[in-house]
Amino acid sequence: MKELIEFVARSIAHDPNSVKVTEINEDGHTIIQLEVAPEDKGRIIGKQGRVAQAMRVLLRVAAVKAGARVTLQIV
């Protein structure tokens, strides 16, 4: 799931080398933190949060298939 978010974020960002994805496991719940360059943050979030929402939906689908609980945080 980490790779999925990293692939999508690198495809959207102007500076794909600044994309950093970390995975934190807490009590059976996984938190994926996405860090991008400040100038790319708007592109990752999108107008009215639509791009971020779409990434969360993709992540949710992958999590259901894997039987896990996952949350995406954009830092």
Give 10-residue mean pLDDT values along the chain (75 residues): 94 95 93 96 95 96 93 94
Separation of alpha carbons 68 and 35, rounded Å: 22
Question: For domain 2-74, is the CATH number 3.30.300.20?
Answer: yes
pTM (2 d.p.) = 0.88
pLDDT value of residue 52: 96
Closest CA to 10 of 45, 40, 50, 47: 40
